[in-house]
Structure 1
Amino acid sequence: MATDVTTGEGEGESTGVEEEDLISRLPDGVLGDILSLLPTRDAARTQVLSSRWCPIWRTAPLNLDIRGYIVAGGGRRVSAGKISRILSKHDGPGRRFCAPLECFFDLGGRYAGALDAWLRSPALTGLQELEFHLGLPRWRATPPPLPAPVHRLASTLRVASFGGCAFPDGNGGALRLPVLQKLSLLDVKISEGTLHALLAGCAVLESLLLGDNNGCSLVRIVSPSLKSIGLRPGPGEIKVKQLLIEDAPCLERLLLLGSGFSMGMVISVIRAPRLHALGQLAAYDPTLEGSQIVSVATMVQNVKILAITQLDLSLDVVINFLKCFPCLEKLYIKTTAVGENNEWRRKYKNLIGTLDIRLKNLVLTNYQGNKSHVNFAMFFVLNARVLQSMRLELQHGNPSNGWIKKQHRLLQTKHKASRGAQFDFVPHVISSPFSLGQVCAEQVHDLATADPFVGFHDWI
């Protein structure tokens, strides 16, 4: 750990004096906390540094992520025995244990038994973060039950993600997680009553992600602490049909995940006075009649950030949203088709003078620059008086300077209603695909991000 240093007396001249290893002088507890933040393999390798470092990792809070072994192995299957040996030799408390869906594949489907044994290990006593997934429901008739050892870890878990398992019915065996702050349920089988009992046992829960679960057509939220909810209703028969926010005084954002999955789902917000971010709503009906949007919009007046998805870009739909959400400041729109005509000068001649458009930021994904999209964007260029920025994310390629100049002319940006408004044409960059657990969990659980829709173009 010692290193040679060079003095400033002559450039390049070395005194041969060794700098003191201040890191190794730190207390064992501090070094252990540092190692617990490193990837598992990197932390384990510190044992070869010196005799001083040799025992640190084994007594440090354990951060065991099985994915690190799969990637490092060049695609080879992870050995369940190797994970078991790590757990048997580790003397420190458990901090994090992560074995997500990709680990299920590498264990050839024998994951449930191995996971049960791992969770019984003394090395995981006091565990704070737990993530596992036992496989997608469509690959098995009946998912395996929630591993019983989870109950012994429940009192210390602060972050939990359960996937591919079934929760037993009845309040008698309900899982109680008194210090849990972040919870994800992905591809699990759980009844309405069991889900409600589970949430009732999470006294300080701040963020909740529900994705593609089965057995729960109604999700009812009563929570004094929840700040963020993410829901992917799921396809077909397993779909959540109703979301009822009954009492959530701290709720700040409600995220609907999965393009089109929220269509036909009824969302009722009875009490959520702090809710300011909502989306993505599937908006295909210009009247909003008969859709889930009416139930939300008539009850929520404080929404400032909204994200919607449209097949055909429709100004009629968006104007109805502006009426429903009078405090809206930032609007994200994702469209995939050519769009409607969106002629507005005659149609909305009488409305323009009375409609209070408070939009400061507008983001339009898959902008094509055709007549429909130009007419749509022009409405806000000429009528949004406090607009600060309009971001037009292009459907194809990098635009030429000539094309951009033409768009400015068509949009009449020289006559913009807001003198300080900026207009950006941005090429759409296709990101690598991510799983529901990765992208959605980041959006739902990262409460430090004020706007959860940054990167909305990559949502799935």
Structure 2
Amino acid sequence: MAMVSGAKRRRELEEEQEEDEDRISRLPDGILGDIVTLLPTNDGARTQVLSSRWRHIWRFAPLNIDLDINPDYPLGANNVTESVISRILSAHQGPSRRFSIPEHYLYYRGLPVTSLDGWLESPALDRLQELEFHYGRPHSSNLAPLPPPPASVHRFSSTLRAVSFGGCGFTDGNNASGLHFPVLKQLSLADVRFSESSLRALLSASPVLQSLLLKGSIGLSRVQIASPTLRSIGVRSNHGRVILRQVIIEDAPCLERLLCFDYLGITISGSGLVSLKMVMHSVKVLSLSEERLSLDVVIGYMKCFPYMERLYIQTKMAGEKNVWCCKYRNLIGTLDIRLKKIVLAGYRGNTSHVNFAKFFVLNARMLESMRLELCIAKPSPSNAWIDKQYRLLQTKNKASRDMQLDFASDYGLRLTNSFFRPEQVHDLSTADPFP
């Protein structure tokens, strides 16, 4: 009997020790719910088996269904099937926060677009705040109409704060399929088909919109953007039958950052006249992809955005000679360059690129950092090459005493894959989208 009591006591001690080690379970339900919400969908559901303490947490935590599927490995580790999604929606009793069906998910499983509409009708998604879906990228030669956004999107109009539409089409006219988003702040449009009127209507239906991302083919070669509340615009449209080649900012008085990840033209338009003479004092960040590096183009932007503080440029080729000493002799004294940070990706160290960088070295009095990302695929350049670049750039005569000049090898290659991220457009909590 004493032996049984001793074994029982040992089990009690072991349980007490496990309880002491499991400090996380002692946290309040609200904090545990936030932890579960941040986990991948499958992992969040599995927390129910950890202990009886955790069993009810997942069912009442804010629901995040985020199927982060790698398109190269569509049947990979995070393989959440449609039946699993349906079971999660039927079992969850708490509020909903995010529902994300990425590109390729429906396509690889051969699911009809009505599957998404059915999921969105679930009561578990009442008061949904973030919605992201992509029906699948249409073939560039396919001119058939794309399916419209799910009809059930309308029921979230009063709660959605972030939306990403993908692989769908919007009807012509001024109603943008009747959508209205009074609290929407983030909007992404990927591989959609628009008319000018439907895009205008969608922006008008989002009266507090702060950030807009145009990604992939949107069925237009030119778009006009007018929004009194937009603070950030991002453009990446480099494939499809109709490639977006020009963005006209018609009216955006609150614009702070303009991020262009493709080689297209950005035009500032005012009073119905296409012109680069409109001044926008609010823009602080500009990102450009210039196939041929041109100082003339950048100076044109600087005239439009006189309070610009951060400039990011990705270039492919050598470009123009960028000779400026005589050409801009009269301008230099009047141009108030407020740039604090410049990043030039694809730097080759040739005459064109040296002249471009030297303009800012010798004239940007507030410049704090210039980073030249080298367009090379070999090991770091020799010290002799670096020393020569410092001499060519005349760093001893730099206009800003505090400027730091850095060279980074092979970044130009990595930049192709890492330069673009949606959060650079939508995350307005940081002043620098390219830390």
Identity %: 56
CA–CA distance in structure 2, aligned partners of residues 311 and 241 of structure 1: 13
- The answer to whether structure 1 residue 340 and structure 2 residue 343 are counterparts is no
Q: Deviations over 1:53-112 (max 9, x none)?
A: 11221222211122369979636965322222222222222221111103134313x241
Deviation at 1:189, TM superposition (A): 2.0
8 Å Cα contact 2:253-2:282 kept in structure 1: no
Compared with structure 1, are the counterparts of its residues 149 and 434 closer, same or farther at alpha carbon in structure 2 (3 Å cutoff)? farther
Residue identity matched to 1:420: D
Q: Provide the residue aligned with 2:232 in structure 1.
A: 228
Residue identity matched to 1:431: R
CA–CA distance in structure 1, aligned partners of residues 138 and 332 of structure 2: 51
8 Å Cα contact 1:98-1:131 kept in structure 2: yes
- The answer to whether structure 1 residue 398 and structure 2 residue 380 are counterparts is yes
Deviation at 1:345, TM superposition (A): 4.7
Q: Provide the residue aligned with 1:426 in structure 2.
A: 408
Q: Provide the residue aligned with 2:3 in structure 1.
A: none
8 Å Cα contact 1:67-1:102 kept in structure 2: no
**Residue correspondence of structure 1 range 259-274 to structure 2 within 5 A:** 259-260=262-263, 262-263=264-265, 266-269=267-270
CA–CA distance in structure 2, aligned partners of residues 117 and 187 of structure 1: 22
Compared with structure 1, are the counterparts of its residues 302 and 82 closer, same or farther at alpha carbon in structure 2 (3 Å cutoff)? closer
Q: Provide the residue aligned with 2:103 in structure 1.
A: 101
Q: Deviations over 1:202-242 (max 9, x none)?
A: 23222122234545566444434322222345667634576
Residue identity matched to 2:48: Q
Deviation at 1:315, TM superposition (A): 4.1
**Where in structure 2 are there 5+ consecutive unaligned residues?**
1-15
**Residue correspondence of structure 1 range 7-406 to structure 2 within 5 A:** 19=20, 23-67=24-68, 74=76, 78-108=80-110, 110-138=111-139, 140=142, 141-170=144-173, 171=175, 173-214=177-218, 219-232=223-236, 238-240=242-244, 243-257=247-261, 259-260=262-263, 262-263=264-265, 266-269=267-270, 295-300=275-280, 303-319=283-299, 321-322=301-302, 325-345=305-325, 356-396=336-376, 397-406=379-388
Deviation at 1:319, TM superposition (A): 4.8
CA–CA distance in structure 2, aligned partners of residues 381 and 249 of structure 1: 31
Deviates more, 1:150-159 or 1:238-247: 238-247
8 Å Cα contact 1:269-1:300 kept in structure 2: no
Deviation at 1:50, TM superposition (A): 1.0
CA–CA distance in structure 2, aligned partners of residues 151 and 187 of structure 1: 21
8 Å Cα contact 2:276-2:304 kept in structure 1: no
Deviation at 1:31, TM superposition (A): 2.8
Q: Deviations over 1:21-43 (max 9, x none)?
A: 55434444443233112221221
8 Å Cα contact 1:357-1:384 kept in structure 2: yes
CA–CA distance in structure 1, aligned partners of residues 18 and 102 of structure 2: 48
Which secondary structure state, in structure 2, belongs to the residue aligned with residue 296 of structure 1?
coil
Over aligned residue pairs, what C-alpha RMSD do you find?
3.6
8 Å Cα contact 2:256-2:284 kept in structure 1: no
Deviation at 1:348, TM superposition (A): 5.3
CA–CA distance in structure 2, aligned partners of residues 69 and 364 of structure 1: 30
8 Å Cα contact 2:276-2:300 kept in structure 1: no
CA–CA distance in structure 1, aligned partners of residues 338 and 260 of structure 2: 24
Deviates more, 1:45-54 or 1:21-30: 21-30
8 Å Cα contact 1:392-1:424 kept in structure 2: yes
Which secondary structure state, in structure 2, belongs to the residue aligned with residue 142 of structure 1?
coil
Compared with structure 1, are the counterparts of its residues 405 and 215 closer, same or farther at alpha carbon in structure 2 (3 Å cutoff)? closer
Compared with structure 1, are the counterparts of its residues 428 and 75 closer, same or farther at alpha carbon in structure 2 (3 Å cutoff)? same
CA–CA distance in structure 1, aligned partners of residues 18 and 383 of structure 2: 59
Residue identity matched to 1:254: L
CA–CA distance in structure 1, aligned partners of residues 184 and 331 of structure 2: 49
Deviation at 1:395, TM superposition (A): 0.9
Deviation at 1:445, TM superposition (A): 0.4
8 Å Cα contact 1:104-1:135 kept in structure 2: yes
Residue identity matched to 1:231: V
8 Å Cα contact 2:343-2:373 kept in structure 1: yes
Residue identity matched to 1:367: Y
Residue identity matched to 1:443: Q
Deviates more, 1:99-108 or 1:72-81: 72-81
Q: Deviations over 1:151-200 (max 9, x none)?
A: 12222211111110122445395111222221112111233333333222
Which secondary structure state, in structure 2, belongs to the residue aligned with residue 67 of structure 1?
coil
Deviation at 1:132, TM superposition (A): 0.4
Which secondary structure state, in structure 2, belongs to the residue aligned with residue 447 of structure 1?
coil
CA–CA distance in structure 2, aligned partners of residues 18 and 80 of structure 1: 37
CA–CA distance in structure 1, aligned partners of residues 331 and 224 of structure 2: 38
Deviates more, 1:352-361 or 1:364-373: 352-361
TM-score normalized with structure 2 length? 0.80
CA–CA distance in structure 2, aligned partners of residues 138 and 99 of structure 1: 19
Which secondary structure state, in structure 2, belongs to the residue aligned with residue 137 of structure 1?
coil
Compared with structure 1, are the counterparts of its residues 270 and 393 closer, same or farther at alpha carbon in structure 2 (3 Å cutoff)? farther
Deviation at 1:372, TM superposition (A): 3.4
- The answer to whether structure 1 residue 410 and structure 2 residue 412 are counterparts is no
Which secondary structure state, in structure 1, belongs to the residue aligned with residue 396 of structure 2?
helix
Residues paired across the two proteins, number: 413
Q: Provide the residue aligned with 2:7 in structure 1.
A: none
Q: Deviations over 1:376-413 (max 9, x none)?
A: 33344344444333222111141222321222233332
Residue identity matched to 2:98: R
Residue identity matched to 1:98: S
